[in-house]
Amino acid sequence: MRECHIKNYKPVFRSPFYPWVQIIGIIGFIFLICQMGMILFLTSIAFCFVGFLIYWFYGRASANKESALLHLIQRITDKDLLLEGSLESELKEIVREREDVVKDHLAD
């Protein structure tokens, strides 16, 4: 996200020596796995593949992309308002206006 230069993305933490620490970490991890033998390398590939399959068939479908504010409003408002969908769009617009958020191609 830092590389996208999104106007409203303001991270609190900055990684020291970015991106060199991350690149060295990835190279070091690959080197260690290769040095531990082919069985560990194939096992790591298998775990990655299984994790991807779990995400693809279960995680994508069950991921909840709603905001916490919407969940709070759902608990305290009439259910008929939520079925129309207008409340969600109105809340998003209020948050954008309040925080002076500029809608970009990555926001919904």
For 92-106, write each residue's pLDDT tens digit.
Answer: 777 677 666 566 555
* 53 found inside a domain: yes
Domain range for residue 39? 2-62
Do 46 and 8 fall within a single domain? yes
CA dist., res. 8 & res. 30, Å (int): 34
CA dist., res. 52 & res. 3, Å (int):
25
Q: Global pTM?
A: 0.41
Q: Are residues 51 and 35 in the same domain?
A: yes
Instruction: State the chain's maximal CA–CA distance in angstroms.
Output: 61
The answer to whether residue 107 is domain-embedded is no
Distance separating alpha carbons of residues 107 and 40, to the nearest angstrom: 40
Residue type, 24: I
Are 7 and 102 in contact by the 8 Å Cβ rule? The answer is yes
Q: How confident is the model at residue 51 (pLDDT cuts 50, 70, 90)?
A: very high
Co-location of 91 and 54 in the same domain: no
State whether 50 and 81 are in the same domain. Answer: no
Give CA–CA dist 55/27, Å, rounded.
25
